[in-house]
Amino acid sequence: MAGCMGLQSMLSHERENYSWGVVQDLIEREDNLAFKLREPPKMPSKKEIKQTIKKTIKQQRKDLLKKRAGAPLSQEEWIRLTD
């Protein structure tokens, strides 16, 4: 009987150790999901940035000219448009 108690005690400890490992795995999985590293967004190339800036400036100038249609431009506005 004494040997049987030792075996039960050993199995109980193994089960506790296994359970603790399962709990640790669950915690680790939750942490990884909570603090998941995301892929950085694709950055535009230098060429794409330049094209975007150029397109934006052209559109702004076009909008300003439409807004001012027929009205004379001030010297400051003219300089801004021609730079």
DSSP string, the chain: -HHHHHHHHHHHHHHHHHHHHHHHHHHHHHHHHHTPPPPPPPPPPHHHHHHHHHHHHHHHHHHHHHHTTTSPPPHHHHHHHH-
Q: Which domain holds residue 13?
A: 1-37
pLDDT digits (tens, 9 = 90+) for 29-72: 888 877 776 677 889 999 999 999 999 999 988 888 777 776 67
43 shares its domain with 80? yes
Number of compact structural domains in the chain: 2
The pLDDT of residue 9: 64
21 shares its domain with 50? no
The pLDDT of residue 50: 95
1 shares its domain with 25? yes
78 shares its domain with 54? yes
